[in-house]
Amino acid sequence: MTGVCDEVFIVTPGFSAPAHSFQLCGVTMERQVVQRAKEAFVSGRARVLEFRLQQLHALQRMLTEKETEICTALKQDINRSQYDTPLLELIGIENEIKLAIEKIAEWTAPRPVEKNLLTISDEVYIQPEPLGVVLIIGAWNYPWALTLLPLIGAIAAGNAAVVKPSELSECSSLLLRALLPRYLDKDLYPVVMGGASETQELLRLRFDHVFYTGGSTVGKLVMEAAARHLTPVTLELGGKSPCYIDKDCDIRVACRRITWGKFVNCGQTCIAPDYILCEPCVQSRVIECIRRTLLEFYGADPKCSADYGRIINQRHFSRIMNLMEGYTPVVGGQSDPSQCYIAPTVLKDVPPHSRLMQEEIFGPVLPIVTVSDMDDAINFINEREKPLALYIFSSNKKEVKRMIEETTSGGVTVNDVMMHYSLSSLPFGGVGQSGMGSYHGKHTFERLSHHRACLLRSLNMESVNLARYPPQDRRRARRAKMALRSPLIDMSKRTLIWAVVATIIGTGLFITLLVILLIAAGLNCTCWYWRGFYN
């Protein structure tokens, strides 16, 4: 989950590899890694179901055995609590691995489809198959989940995958590079380190899919680079996710849930509530409830709390501080550049067209924008880019339904925040400027698979095809039209179909037999009549 870009680069047709890129005989390290991944994929071992399961089990074992090291790395990167890392990342990854292991046989099996009269005797199905070599460009704010979740889907689908973690979460990226080759096939799933230059070099190469998590600025460049090879992309971007609070809801509970979602991971979450929309009459109460909740969560000085994180680096610290210029915080506002610390901050009466409301904040700053009513809130949301998430706090089911129907977003959660992300059965992804494509659970498998259309028929029953062959005449054309216009038949219900057919045939035979018996009885009566007549 991320939204603000980190690796800003331009891909140009005349681009040459940077001087610091490792080269051997004129070939960059990135090119060698990708070539090895392609050769490993062509070998066919990633397609074997048992191999995929073995790799997934190995990844599961890595998380179990190295949990302490992973938590330590994240503590060093963003001062994340050792208790938060399992809750925010590791358990979700483990659940996705377990789901893939449990369902992979079902996901990879041929999927029968409906037939018409022309194909009634054919074998017709959809076969999921691997795309090839996938490039996964991870993010720094949740460096394990946002890298490994796409990788789980890539492995389950039978692909090779080149993993490019973010250089900003340095400790996590170095640990990932050290661990992944120990547990997974190092040729099929290599890790490439580096920053913008290395990412640039990777994007010059041809992949079968590019999966990028980051900001929209870089997302556009990724899509532009992929377009040169007609490579499909999944872009998990960000945006300003609105949070509407109805004046009649339980504001205290709403503010507790919003406060957690906004300030966990120091606000560096792509689906964190970016701003609050509420009526002026409840703004003061919202502020007071958030203030009390912050005191409960992080104490009088969040800087001393083991549960409160830090901004990833000085550049992002300065960016967030600049966004707050000209405002007087009603909650928080303290900062310490030496620690990249910004206290949980709330700003009230923020103008709708201010700079703060034009770009994703991606930090622990929560603006409140007042609206006159729900109509005003809906208009406010629809006047802006489609967000990655929308949060609605209301006890009025009709109002909730109306807001969902009259707005659009990547996902929506009612009376809570971010929880839709935790459910593998729901697709996670953006719409419009907040991204394209979705993943999690089976949705990742589907995203990283090619759905191959298959129709298998025999060389028998050639007479059925005569209606489509030349020379054509009216009779043949009529037969062909009838066959083509025949409705689709769901052959998964063939037992029911054959039961109905058998019933019809049985009924027909019974009626035929009854008619024969009646005719025979009639003839018998006639014979007796004429015999009595002659006697």
* H-run or E-run covering 284: helix 280-298
- 281 and 314 within one domain: yes
- 228 and 160 within one domain: yes
Query: Does residue 180 register a pLDDT over 70?
Result: yes
Cα separation, 481 vs 366, whole angstroms: 64
The predicted pLDDT at position 472 comes to: 87
Query: Does residue 88 register a pLDDT over 70?
Result: yes
The predicted pLDDT at position 9 comes to: 41
Query: Does residue 237 register a pLDDT over 50?
Result: yes
Query: Does residue 223 register a pLDDT over 80?
Result: yes
Structure-model confidence comparison of residues 73 and 526, the more confident one: 73
Cα separation, 249 vs 355, whole angstroms: 30
Is residue 517 very low, low, confident or very high in pLDDT (cuts 50, 70, 90)? confident
Lowest-confidence segment of 168-177, 289-298, 501-510 by average pLDDT: 501-510
Note the pTM of the prediction, 2 decimals: 0.88
Query: Does residue 145 register a pLDDT over 90?
Result: yes
Is residue 25 very low, low, confident or very high in pLDDT (cuts 50, 70, 90)? very low
Average pLDDT for 175-193 = 98
Residue 440 lies in a domain: no
Tell which residue, 181, 152, 222, has the closest CA to residue 7: 222
The predicted pLDDT at position 8 comes to: 39
- 251 and 214 within one domain: no
- 178 and 262 within one domain: no
Lowest-confidence segment of 6-10, 37-41, 50-54, 168-172 by average pLDDT: 6-10
Tell which residue, 293, 284, 286, has the closest CA to residue 249: 286
Query: Does residue 528 register a pLDDT over 80?
Result: no
Structure-model confidence comparison of residues 519 and 432, the more confident one: 432
Query: Does residue 535 register a pLDDT over 80?
Result: no
Residue 477 lies in a domain: no
Is residue 480 very low, low, confident or very high in pLDDT (cuts 50, 70, 90)? confident
Query: Does residue 135 register a pLDDT over 60?
Result: yes
Is residue 107 very low, low, confident or very high in pLDDT (cuts 50, 70, 90)? very high
Strands 365-370 and 345-347: parallel
The predicted pLDDT at position 531 comes to: 59
Query: Does residue 449 register a pLDDT over 80?
Result: yes
Lowest-confidence segment of 69-83, 242-256, 464-478, 503-517 by average pLDDT: 503-517
Q: Tokens for 68?
A: 């302490």
- DSSP for 7-69, please give it: ------TT----TTS-EETTEEHHHHHHHHHHHHHHTTGGG-HHHHHHHHHHHHHHHHHTHHH
Residue 515 lies in a domain: no
Domain finish residue from 393, 421, 449 = 449
Domain finish residue from 400, 429, 458 = 429
- 179 and 78 within one domain: yes
* Residue of 243, 270, 289, 340 with catalytic role: 270
- 117 and 40 within one domain: yes
Residue 523 lies in a domain: no
Query: Does residue 499 register a pLDDT over 60?
Result: no
Average pLDDT for 328-350 = 97
- 138 and 284 within one domain: no
Query: Does residue 218 register a pLDDT over 80?
Result: yes
Please give the residue range of the domain that contains residue 185: 29-238+445-449
- 362 and 288 within one domain: yes
User: At 99, is the secondary structure helix, strand, or coil?
Assistant: helix
- 315 and 174 within one domain: no
Average pLDDT for 317-332 = 96
Q: Does residue 387 have a cis peptide bond before it, meaning omega lies within 30 degrees of 0?
A: no
- 385 and 320 within one domain: yes
Per residue in 381-430, pLDDT (tens digit) is: 999 999 999 999 999 999 999 999 999 999 999 999 999 999 999 999 99
Tell which residue, 194, 200, 191, 209, has the closest CA to residue 135: 209
Cα separation, 189 vs 37, whole angstroms: 7
CATH of the domain at 101: 3.40.605.10
Residue 455 lies in a domain: no
Is residue 24 very low, low, confident or very high in pLDDT (cuts 50, 70, 90)? very low
Q: Tokens for 57?
A: 């089990």
Cα separation, 80 vs 140, whole angstroms: 13
Q: Tokens for 6?
A: 């980190």
Query: Does residue 473 register a pLDDT over 60?
Result: yes
- 59 and 113 within one domain: yes
- 175 and 259 within one domain: no
Percent residues over pLDDT 90 in the chain:
79
Cα separation, 384 vs 305, whole angstroms: 36
Cα separation, 415 vs 291, whole angstroms: 19
* H-run or E-run covering 475: helix 474-484
Beta-carbon neighbour count of residue 391 at 10 Å? 31
Percent residues over pLDDT 70 in the chain:
89
Lowest-confidence segment of 115-129, 355-369, 399-413, 503-517 by average pLDDT: 503-517
The predicted pLDDT at position 488 comes to: 86
Q: Tokens for 20?
A: 């610091």
Is residue 14 very low, low, confident or very high in pLDDT (cuts 50, 70, 90)? very low
Residue 321 lies in a domain: yes
The predicted pLDDT at position 525 comes to: 59
How much is the mean pLDDT over the chain?
91
Domain finish residue from 449, 479, 496 = 449
Average pLDDT for 504-518 = 70
Can 5 be counted among the known catalytic residues?
no
- Looking at the structure of the chain, the number of domains it has is 2
The predicted pLDDT at position 529 comes to: 52
Residue 40 lies in a domain: yes
Q: Tokens for 107?
A: 């996901």
Q: Scan for tokens 């005569």, then name that residue.
A: 466
> 87-91 long-range contacts, Cβ below 8 Å, gap at least 24?
88/142, 88/145, 88/264, 88/265, 89/142, 89/144, 89/145, 90/63, 90/144
Query: Does residue 502 register a pLDDT over 70?
Result: no
Is residue 465 very low, low, confident or very high in pLDDT (cuts 50, 70, 90)? confident
CATH of the domain at 249: 3.40.309.10
Strands 428-429 and 438-439: antiparallel
Structure-model confidence comparison of residues 279 and 532, the more confident one: 279
Can 71 be counted among the known catalytic residues?
no
* Residue of 7, 198, 236, 360 with catalytic role: 236
Helix axes 251-263, 280-298, angle to 10 degrees: 60
Burial of 268 (0-12, 13-18, 19+ CB in 10 A): buried
Is residue 10 very low, low, confident or very high in pLDDT (cuts 50, 70, 90)? very low
Residue 94 lies in a domain: yes
